[in-house]
Amino acid sequence: MTANRRGLLIILSSPSGAGKSTLARRLREWDAEIQFSISATTRPPRPGEVDGREYHFTNEADFKARVNQGGMLEHAHVFGNFYGSPRPPVQAAIDAGRDVLFDIDWQGAQQITNSALSANTLSIFLLPPSIRELRNRLEARAQDDAETIARRMDKSWDEISHWGSYDYVLVNDDLDATEAQLKTIVTATRLRRSQQPGLTDHVRHLQSEFEELT
Ligand code: ADP
Ligand code: 5GP
């Protein structure tokens, strides 16, 4: 199927707690056509997580087999577990002109940015306003125990240190303001010439009409 518009691969990365999931949810409420890339992972589900909704939960043997068969667009080892983005749903979506949103770490972002799909990629990094606020948010989310929060805080600088390789960097201070900035970036990137393959035909029609009328 060909579409008038090529789908975008929208990558959101940040240290844990900076606001990725919240902003990803708001982006999808704004445009329900944006498809979320559901990652595969070898980590066990947390309470409330449903297989096929937050993640495809799997084991290491299955994960590695899928990587070896080329079934992952990118994959990485994060916090002691494997995570990867299954390729087939992404390819189908962008061929049909639908955008795909990825909540992945810097390693995955780098792999996609360096892949054959780089021309259709938009990468955005979220920074917290301060490290103190990052910790407050992790605590306020009340999802993790103290040890997990400490581990996420330990890892946060590693993630933040890769901010410089993203297309856009937003400081997520005021949530509504960041949401507005994110929508502006997506709207503008959708209008990139490379995202609009239908323009060639349109200009051809303009040319015929031009020759007819002048
Ligand atoms: P991530 O997905 O990056 O780990 P979340 O989206 O879960 O982060 O956000 C962590 C916590 O911070 C959540 O409780 C969320 O409601 C809150 N939060 C996100 N953005 C902001 C913001 N700009 N100001 C205040 N709180 C925020
Ligand atoms: P969590 O286990 O808290 O859901 O996710 C831990 C980290 O793994 C987050 O930084 C998240 O962005 C990252 N992550 C989730 N899925 C993927 C994926 O498919 N690929 C990569 N590279 N990272 C992922």
CATH code of residue 36: 3.40.50.300
| Strand order across the 100-103 sheet | 35-36, 100-103, 9-13, 121-127, 168-171
pLDDT tens digits, 172-187: 999 999 999 999 999 9
**CA 36 distance to own-chain centroid:** 8
Q: With respect to residue 201, please indicate whether it lies within any of the assigned structural domains.
A: yes
The alpha helices in 75-192, defined as continuous H runs, are 87-95, 106-113, 131-141, 146-160, 175-190
Percentage of the chain lying above the pLDDT 70 cut: 99
Sign of the alpha-carbon dihedral angle for 139, 141, 147, 152:
negative
Q: With respect to residue 4, please indicate whether it lies within any of the assigned structural domains.
A: no
Amino acid at site 71: G
Looking at ligand 2, which residue's alpha carbon is closest to its atom 15? Answer: 104
Q: With respect to residue 1, please indicate whether it lies within any of the assigned structural domains.
A: no
- The C-alpha atoms of residue 7 and residue 4 are separated, in whole angstroms, by 10
Q: With respect to residue 84, please indicate whether it lies within any of the assigned structural domains.
A: yes
Looking at residue 141, what is its pLDDT?
A: 86
Q: To which residue do tokens 């290491």 refer?
A: 60
Domains: count for the chain? 1
Ligand nearest to the CA of residue 38, numbered in listed order: 2
pLDDT tens digits, 142-180: 878 899 899 889 999 999 999 999 999 999 999 999 999
Q: To which residue do tokens 């992945």 refer?
A: 104
84 Cβ neighbours under 8 A, 6+ residues apart: 39, 40, 41, 63, 66, 67, 72, 73, 74, 75, 76, 108
Say yes or no: CB of residue 20 within 6 Å of ligand 1: yes
**HEC profile of 50-106:** CECCCEEECCHHHHHHHHHCCCEEEEEEECCEEEEEEHHHHHHHHHCCCCEEEECCH
pTM of structure: 0.94
212 CA distance to ligand 1 centroid (A)?
57
Rg of the chain over Cα atoms, rounded to whole angstroms, equals: 19
Rounded to the nearest integer, the mean pLDDT of the chain is 94
- The C-alpha atoms of residue 118 and residue 190 are separated, in whole angstroms, by 14
Residues of the chain with pLDDT under 70: 1-3
Looking at residue 208, what is its pLDDT?
A: 98
Ligand nearest to the CA of residue 172, numbered in listed order: 1
Looking at residue 1, what is its pLDDT?
A: 43
Element (H, E) at 207: helix 199-213
**Domain of 183?**
9-213
Three-state secondary-structure class, residue 184: helix
207 CA distance to ligand 1 centroid (A)?
50
Looking at residue 3, what is its pLDDT?
A: 63
